[in-house]
Amino acid sequence: MTPTLIERTSGAGEQTLLTDVLIIGGGVTGAGIMRDLALRGLHTLLIDKHDLCAGASGGNHGLLHSGARYVSNDLHSAIECRIENELLKRLAPQCVEDTGGLFVAVEGDDPAFAEAFPGFCQSAGIFCEEISPAEARRLEPLLSEEIFRAYRVPDATVDPFRLALENVDHARMLTDSIYLPHTEIIRFEIDAGEIRAAICRDNRTLAALRIVAKQYVNAGGAWAMNIARQAGCTDVNLLYSKGTLLISHDRMTHHVINRLRPPGDGDILVPGGTVSVLGTTSVRTDNLETNRPTVAEIDTNVIEGAAMIPALATTRYIRAFSRVRPLLQSSDSGDGREATRGFALLDHTSQGLINFCTITGGKLTTFRLMAEKTSNLVAERLGNTQACTTDSVPLPGSAACRWTEPGAAPRYWYKANNPDDMILCECEMVPQSAIDEIVRCAPGAEADMTLEAIALRSRAGKGPCQGSFCGIRIASYLYDRGYYRDKTGLVHMRDFFNERFKGMRTVIWGQQAAQMELAEALHCGLLGLDNLDNE
Amino acid sequence: MREETRKFDTELAVIGSGIAGCAASIFALNRQIDCAQVGNTGAVAYTTGYLDLLGAIEESSAAVAKPWEGLAQLKNLHPDHPLSRIPVTDIRKGFDQFATFLGECGITYTAPRESNITALTPAGTLKKTLCVPATMAAGPEAFADKTPCVIIDFKGLKGFSAREVVANLQDQWPTLLAARIIFPDMDKGEIYPEVMARALEVPATRTRLAELLREAAGEVKVIGLPAVLGMHRPDHVRAELEQLTGLTIFEIPTMPPSVPGIRLREMFEQVFPEKGITLIPQQKVTALSFDTDGALLCLSDNYGPITIQAKAVILATGRFLSGGLEAHITGISESLLDLPVSQPPSRTDWYRDGYTDRRGHPIHKAGIDIDTSYRPLGKNGKPYNEHLFAAGIILAHQDWIRGRSGAGIAIATAYKAVEAAEKFLLAQHA
Ligand SMILES: Cc1cc2nc3c(=O)[nH]c(=O)nc-3n(C[C@H](O)[C@H](O)[C@H](O)COP(=O)(O)OP(=O)(O)OC[C@H]3O[C@@H](n4cnc5c(N)ncnc54)[C@H](O)[C@@H]3O)c2cc1C
Ligand SMILES: Cc1cc2nc3c(=O)[nH]c(=O)nc-3n(C[C@H](O)[C@H](O)[C@H](O)COP(=O)(O)OP(=O)(O)OC[C@H]3O[C@@H](n4cnc5c(N)ncnc54)[C@H](O)[C@@H]3O)c2cc1C
């Protein structure tokens, strides 16, 4: 199949791109659709107004659900999770750590719920094995002594960044499909029941871009309602729930630890490489753009989490973040967590459009299934008869995508054993060669990458110093390479630190306060990054 | 085996070996007060070597060109700032004595002037400061005159890129060039400033480096290097390299811990004991208590427990980084005596949303309150103890980071705290 991408410059000086399918939203869902369609031979363009995983995909718990979490209140989702969990473990093992999960009830939790739990699991077909509280504490020594019931389930963890990057990269390999970062949909040109073009803006250059596709897919996650409305569709109705998570400096447990009770605040602790992620809270919000953790949410998570793992009350946290879950408006209950975790695919024919669809809701765990359903609709509309193969074709690993994996960088570095390849991020051992590879050929690589874009494609800045030191060193290296050539490099540095700070602001106590003081002494006291605009 | 407790008796005990603690010891020496100092001298190594007095007025964005005039403006806007409470003449005396002492001990500094120096940073940005080490002085001069100049960096020295310095200064300094050389005998892998500096203590290394520098400079007569020009006799190392090359040479600080900071640390550790100060470096006081005669400091080192009996104590333990203050999920406390800490009402207020906000973060203004005699206040609002004084950035109502005033606050308040302690000691003797 030859790509149908043609560039031409129209009279107005605005660039036009042609493709089979335009996918809006570079979360795991959009990335998954891109690969699914590419496996069917179709050419796609994926755009994101920020960058890959800028939405919920880059700010979640990273839990590859076994489904057990949903057995008591959403059997359908639980079953979907079970199936997808097994598929991902088999087909994308490089993105998954098969940690196993525990559900534990602590003194004060409802014994009846704990009693009924294995039965719930059984009806969803989910493996569940009771173990004694003593055995649970042997597996996870930090668990509270107050535990009275414990079960093992096949939970695992997944790296959404690598998942998205590799889906995008595979689509590129298959059909030359293209991913464009910082490209935002502004409006659609609609004529006679069809979208004729999508008008986009490059958020860095502010240049306009016209994309002409045969089919248009809205994979905007929490933003899906807004995007649908831009196409005149009023059938996507979402409410929003904000969730806040914390990252601890150390990995606290080997397994995923769930509280054995109906879903509530601070009741899941998920390991991720060398750290653990604690969460979440859930509050209704109308705000999609500037959600930040609050001190109250942090304190709630810490207090609730400490009931399962007392050490969570005293451990060092390095980061907190908030993201928004889109809630499909099917229930009008007040608690965001109660609403369905299922997903919705809308074909918008009722809205008078025949080449537009919206996929939203769901979970990271079910992204492949969501992509399959969406791609089935799109392929059918295009008269493409190829069946979905993402449930059997393994996701190939790509060299430029490997740097997001904790522990990968030091492994490659030791193996290469090149003393001139110096480590730039000392917390996560990211060497110069990783940065070179990312700016050269990672998905979305381009001429003037920000430090944030580089960090997104690696572990740089994810360790205890949160980029305070490596941000300076990586910028310095990029100057040295002639990649940064003027003060924009300093601006990238400042923006990177400002961005990282958003995640640190609410967890600065204990050692983090010392860390932060040193960082500020360097960034502001010495380098004057707080005064760049006034120089 | 039970180790015997070693006991010291002194007039004045200084807790903390940052700039404030070291300055306090120097001022005590100058006033012939018998003195003991405890504290990890690592904190000094963080400084770039630049001694800032006032580079900006807190909560505003303009850089301060004339720091002494800036102090008047500071006083208007922030009357409770520690520098606003000190007569300018005393601040001058403090700086003069401090810089003179460093010079006498082999690390020459430029004398404080009316105007701030516009100094260079390793990122090629500019920084206002009052005094710079003599090894760095030619840099700001060359920048001011836009003299043709080559910034030279070294293969394997991470975090210092001549091209970065040039890229960020080129529009203000068009005749600036970048070059890279290989440090003698360090051609493979990563190399470290401290190791390079020690290597340059050896004359043969200097001769070989001089050759490389001359080549890299080409026709240009002024060169800038990362700060690696020797550890114990930097002025001598620079002078000799200048003589060997026929070039004007200056240093630019590297990222901390940088060589100029380590120079200060090693110098203090050598000179203080020679001058009769009881110095117990690398240790922390674990308990501090008072009786009618004075204070008792408890600590221990590798050889066992130590107690220091002192008639007066200066607390100069710094902030979070040095451990003088502690931030807890529930609030900020002072670590040694649990002194009351002036602080924002709740953790929500510690930081603003924007990290690089020019107005700075309220947490940085937290600290301990003192009375006019530099005595920390206790919970009842009265001095905690008549034997106790405090100095340095542990004091409340200042943001040394945004104000670019770290050394200034440390030196000036140490000067006043020692003055107050001396007055108290004299009254005791009388
Ligand atoms: C706090 C929290 C914890 C979670 N934990 C888990 C978990 O542990 N396990 C699990 O399976 N699931 C979890 N989820 C759910 C999971 O994260 C999401 O279901 C999944 O990431 C959704 O992916 P998506 O691609 O559909 O949407 P998103 O990842 O939100 O992607 C939408 C993208 O669209 C882009 N966009 C928006 N508007 C425009 C526009 N106008 N033009 C161009 N681009 C646009 C955005 O920048 C964004 O990148 C969690 C969710 C939250 C909020
Ligand atoms: C990265 C960085 C760069 C800097 N650059 C500059 C610069 O360019 N120009 C400038 O003017 N200033 C600079 N400073 C500021 C300067 O180094 C000092 O921080 C400042 O002058 C304040 O000094 P201080 O002595 O009050 O506190 P600190 O320097 O923090 O010293 C506190 C001391 O107390 C000790 N201590 C703490 N608790 C105990 C205890 N229980 N017992 C014994 N000892 C204890 C610590 O070990 C430490 O020695 C910089 C600081 C940093 C961190």
pLDDT, position B40: 81
Which residues in chain B have Cβ-Cβ distances shorter than 8 Å to A476?
122-123, 158-161, 164
**Looking at the structure, do residues A453 and A529 belong to the same domain, yes or no?**
yes
Most confident of A318-332, A407-421, A521-535, B121-135: B121-135
- In angstroms, the CA A46 to CA A22 distance is 6
DSSP labels for B321-382? TTTSEEEETTEEEETTT----B--SSGGGTS-SSTT-TT--GGGG-BB-B-TTSPBB-TTSS
**Looking at the structure, do residues A314 and A354 belong to the same domain, yes or no?**
no
**Looking at the structure, do residues A423 and A407 belong to the same domain, yes or no?**
yes
Give the ligand 1 atom nearest the CA of A31: 25
**Looking at the structure, do residues A422 and A478 belong to the same domain, yes or no?**
yes
| Structure confidence by residue, pLDDT tens digits, B63-76 | 899 999 999 999 99
Which residues in chain A have Cβ-Cβ distances shorter than 8 Å to B351?
501, 505, 508
Domain assignment of residue A78, yes or no: no
pLDDT, position A533: 80
More confident residue, A447 or A23: A23
Domain assignment of residue A297, yes or no: yes
Query: CB of B33 closer than 6 A to ligand 2?
Result: no
Query: Is A506 a residue whose pLDDT tops 50?
Result: yes
Candidate from B56, B320, B355 with C-beta closest to A497: B355
| Structure confidence by residue, pLDDT tens digits, B253-281 | 998 888 999 999 999 999 999 999 999 98
More confident residue, B32 or A460: B32
pLDDT, position B42: 67
Over range A379-389, report the average pLDDT.
97
- Supply the range of the domain harboring residue A319: 89-158+240-326
- In angstroms, the CA A371 to CA A358 distance is 11
A287, A424, A476, A512: which to substitute to probe chain B, counting the most B Cβ within 10 Å?
A: A476
Contact B353 A292 (CB under 8 A): yes
Q: Which value does ipTM take for this structure?
A: 0.96
Ordered by start, the domain boundaries in chain B are: 6-106+262-429, 122-252
Q: How many CA atoms lie less than 13 Å away from A183 in the CB half-sphere? A: 22
Smallest CA–CA distance, residue A330 to chain B, in Å, is 35
User: Are A487 and A534 a contacting pair, CB within 8 Å?
Assistant: no
Domain assignment of residue A331, yes or no: no
Instruction: Label residue A9 by pLDDT band (50, 70, 90).
Output: low
Instruction: Label residue B152 by pLDDT band (50, 70, 90).
Output: very high
Instruction: Label residue A7 by pLDDT band (50, 70, 90).
Output: low
Percent composition of chain A: helix, strand, coil (DSSP 3-state, to 5): 40, 25, 40
Domain assignment of residue A66, yes or no: no
Contact A518 B46 (CB under 8 A): yes
Query: CB of B19 closer than 6 A to ligand 2?
Result: yes
Domain assignment of residue A67, yes or no: no
Domain assignment of residue A459, yes or no: yes
| Structure confidence by residue, pLDDT tens digits, A360-378 | 999 999 999 999 999 999 9
Instruction: Label residue A330 by pLDDT band (50, 70, 90).
Output: low
Q: Specify the CATH architecture of the domain B6-106+262-429.
A: 3-Layer(bba) Sandwich (3.50)
- In angstroms, the CA A164 to CA A53 distance is 7
Contacts across the A-B interface (CB distance below 8 Å): 152
Contact A514 B320 (CB under 8 A): yes
pTM score: 0.90
Domain at A224, CATH number = 3.50.50.60
Over range B121-128, report the average pLDDT.
96
Candidate from B126, B160, B347 with C-beta closest to A535: B126
**Looking at the structure, do residues A231 and A180 belong to the same domain, yes or no?**
yes
pLDDT, position A338: 44
pLDDT, position A332: 41
Element (H, E) at A17: strand A15-24
Is the omega angle on the peptide bond into residue A16 within 30 degrees of 0, that is, cis? no
Smallest CA–CA distance, residue A155 to chain B, in Å, is 31
Contact A479 B350 (CB under 8 A): no
pLDDT, position A92: 97
Instruction: Copy the structure tokens of residue B407.
Output: 């050394």
Smallest CA–CA distance, residue B234 to chain A, in Å, is 22
Instruction: Copy the structure tokens of residue A65.
Output: 């659900």
Domain assignment of residue A100, yes or no: yes
Average pLDDT over chain B, rounded to an integer: 95
**Could you give the C-alpha distances from A267 to A261, A316, B78, in angstroms and in order?**
9, 18, 46
Q: What is the DSSP letter of A374?
A: H
pLDDT, position A337: 44
pLDDT, position A397: 87
pLDDT, position A3: 46
pLDDT, position A74: 92
Domain at A249, CATH number = 3.30.9.10
Query: Is A401 a residue whose pLDDT tops 90?
Result: no
Domain assignment of residue A485, yes or no: yes
What's the CATH code, domain B122-252?
3.40.50.1860
Contact A479 B402 (CB under 8 A): no
**Looking at the structure, do residues A405 and A522 belong to the same domain, yes or no?**
yes
pLDDT, position A411: 79
Helices (H), A108-223: 111-124, 133-139, 160-175
Which residues in chain B have Cβ-Cβ distances shorter than 8 Å to A510?
326-329
Query: Is A384 a residue whose pLDDT tops 60?
Result: yes
| Structure confidence by residue, pLDDT tens digits, B306-345 | 999 999 999 999 999 999 999 999 999 999 999 999 999 9
| Structure confidence by residue, pLDDT tens digits, A232-263 | 999 999 999 999 999 999 999 999 999 999 88
| Structure confidence by residue, pLDDT tens digits, A144-200 | 999 999 999 999 999 999 999 999 999 999 999 999 999 999 999 999 999 999 999
Instruction: Label residue A331 by pLDDT band (50, 70, 90).
Output: very low
Query: Is A336 a residue whose pLDDT tops 70?
Result: no
Domain count, chain A: 3
Give the ligand 1 atom nearest the CA of A61: 8
Instruction: Label residue B198 by pLDDT band (50, 70, 90).
Output: very high
Average pLDDT over chain A, rounded to an integer: 92
- In angstroms, the CA B11 to CA B376 distance is 19
**Looking at the structure, do residues A273 and A142 belong to the same domain, yes or no?**
yes
Pocket lined around ligand 1, Cβ cut-off 6 Å: A 24-30, 47-50, 54-57, 60-63, 65, 184-185, 219-223, 227, 243, 245, 280, 323-325, 362-365
Smallest CA–CA distance, residue B345 to chain A, in Å, is 13
| Ligand number nearest to the C-alpha of A188 | 1
| Ligand number nearest to the C-alpha of A219 | 1
- In angstroms, the CA B95 to CA B104 distance is 14
| Structure confidence by residue, pLDDT tens digits, B47-58 | 899 999 999 999
pLDDT, position A335: 45
Instruction: Label residue B364 by pLDDT band (50, 70, 90).
Output: very high
Q: What angle do CA B70, B413, B114 make, to 5 degrees?
A: 30
